[in-house]
Amino acid sequence: MFSKILIANRGEIACRIIKTAKKIGILTVAVYSDADKDSLHVHMADEAVYLGASPSRESYLVIEKVIAAAKKTGAQAIHPGYGFLSENADFCRACQQENITFIGPPVAAIEAMGSKSAAKNIMAEANVPLVPGYHGDDQNEQTLKQAADDMGYPVLLKATAGGGGKGMRQVWNEAEFSEGFAAAKREAMSSFGDDTMLVEKYLTQPRHVEIQVFCDNHQNAVYLFERDCSVQRRHQKVIEEAPAFSMSEFLRSKMGETAIKSAQAIGYQGAGTVEFLLDVDGSFYFMEMNTRLQVEHPVTEMISGQDLVEWQLRVAAGEKLPKTQEELTITGHSFEARIYAEDPSNDFLPATGQLNLLKTPLESKHVRIDTGVRQGDEVSVFYDPMIAKLIVWDENRDKALQRLAKALREYRIDGVTTNIEFLYNLATTDAFKNADIDTSFIEKNHQAIFHQADEKQHDELLTKQLPTAALYIVLALTNKNKEQAALSNDRHSPWHMTNAWRLNEPHNHSLTLAYNDIDYAITIEQKRQASAVYYQITISDAGTTSHTVDCQGEIEGENITVTIDGHRSQSIVAHHENSISLYQEHGVFSFSHILPDHGENQDDDNHGGLMAPMNGTMVSVLVTPGEHVSKDQPLVIMEAMKMEHTIKAPSDGVVNEVFFSAGDMVNGGAELLDFSTLATSKSEEA
């Protein structure tokens, strides 16, 4: 076994590998960039070596620097984690040339699976079932378009060197092909340095089921069962589970044996994942093989009781697989939810910022958190925006799902926008509970996940959620003032009163809460009946709807118990500055407390300027000053955290001025260009 390894990665996967290495007595070397000099993985490792500037192409992706760090520290092996150089055959070859063990498959296997087109050909020869598509060498756009026309739309364009949803576009009809093709090629070149594409038939109701395989150097191979990864956005996984629901033993065995056959077809060694599309009729098709550890490997560890990183280390050191197929069993059910810095309500745009508050659920045998950040750390524009992975386990799917919902209610992050509320709402939908899931789950359940209000939901908002949030604000203020009064010299001073007392006037609090971009005016009148205090709350939205309820309540820690018109219920509350979120049985409801404007805020006239939705890099400017454009016409393309985002014209108009060029770094909120609608364009004003 190795005595020291270098981890050529960062963040949560680097921390994850370090934990296992420490457990079995292996020293670890971390590498880091400018942005990561104070990061958690650097502090956890026994040694750390500086690689370079923050952009990964100047640090983590520079093979020569990583190899030099390993030689300098005497590391005998390099674990690449996932992403970065993990599936780079040149890096694997460089390790071999320097007599450093690459903790992963051999060069030939990486090369065989590194091209999706070549992988399809190899699998076809091995009689592994494939989705219909074109995987040829002719990269002329017309050739791929003709293939798409022939097989029928929708189709999926995919970068042959890709992964993680990068360089991938759905094309629903012939008219969308050229734009989708160009965008996929740009993103592929940016992420992988290779814009070779393939096109496949897009199945409309598939599940994404993958098999974890392991092979050693002694001709042994096993599969550690399957994971269902169907819930995705932007072709990236959101929540994974193991084992897959509705999976018969026959189908599990058939898919597992096919996965092993796929691995053996390329002489595989180490941990790998064979990904399949599982159709509604039980047929399945090879999609790709990832020649590395997967982000979602913890759910497999939770149901199998095996440490897959330890398996990797032992296989790389020449040992046999720790278990045979017959010795591997499934126990219970596990979910993994990926906590991202992103804004689900704004097309999942990545977010940046400082983690001012980071409070996680308590870890136990049921709850595990894999992370690479601490409170106070910065989520930067340079790397993937994943903050952590929340993994839960219990004896069956229903109980594990209850664990997941509870843990998401207890996860607190402030300072950066996250997808926690989105995950909670998704996991508590009836469709998810009932496993009515395919790869279009989010689109099909958009209204339920994002609480787009129908009439019933709007009534509950007025009669339950808004009164609860408003009462919480008043009670929290009351409790705070009581604490201050107890510490003051005059605890009976009228300045400590919070009952909204006015001479000859009702005791009213007035406030405004915003939900889904709608402002609600709220009046809270404190009343007494006998010796009991209760509150009469009146809610209206722009004067069109008004509703009044009587309620009582009390706060205990992060919980509020309210009785509204005789109905008693509880909510968990996350309250920070001017935001308040209520975690309830059927989802989380988040409100903004709109403070009165006393004249401090002045609206700036931005002359129709279009703003950058996030920090990022300008990839391409598609228009010139003076150009007339149509509504929804692409104007500029930005890249943030390895994903492209196209900013389109909000209406027909004229581009007056462009403020950035391709390659420029752009801060979120910066004015990208000056835009005028046709009715007020500068050319018409003149």
Nearest of 248, 256, 301 to residue 274 by alpha carbon: 256
- Residue of 207, 252, 292, 338 marked active site: 292
Give CA–CA dist 190/184, Å, rounded. Answer: 10
Give CA–CA dist 293/291, Å, rounded. Answer: 7
CA 325 to chain centre: 33
Contact 2, 31 (CB under 8 A): no
64's tokens = 């020569």
C-alpha distances out from residue 215 to 55, 102, 261, 265, 630, Å: 34, 15, 11, 12, 55
- Compute φ and ψ for 10, nearest 5 degrees: -145, 180
C-alpha distances out from residue 420 to 37, 162, 268, 397, 560, Å: 27, 27, 37, 20, 20
Contact 260, 219 (CB under 8 A): no
Residue 551 bridge partners (DSSP): 535, 564
Told to judge if 169 belongs to the known catalytic residues of this protein, a careful annotator would answer: no
Give CA–CA dist 160/115, Å, rounded. Answer: 5
C-alpha distances out from residue 309 to 2, 401, 455, 461, Å: 14, 26, 50, 47
CA 218 to chain centre: 38
Nearest of 363, 386, 391, 364 to residue 373 by alpha carbon: 386
Nearest of 177, 128, 130 to residue 155 by alpha carbon: 177
Nearest of 57, 60, 32 to residue 45 by alpha carbon: 32
For residue 84, give every residue at least 6 positions away whose Cβ sits within 8 Å of its Cβ, in sequence order, or none: 8, 9, 10, 56, 60, 61
For residue 284, give every residue at least 6 positions away whose Cβ sits within 8 Å of its Cβ, in sequence order, or none: 129, 209, 251, 255, 258, 276, 277, 278
Residue 28 bridge partners (DSSP): 5
For residue 361, give every residue at least 6 positions away whose Cβ sits within 8 Å of its Cβ, in sequence order, or none: 367, 369, 390, 406, 407, 410, 411
Give CA–CA dist 442/419, Å, rounded. Answer: 13
Active site residues: 292
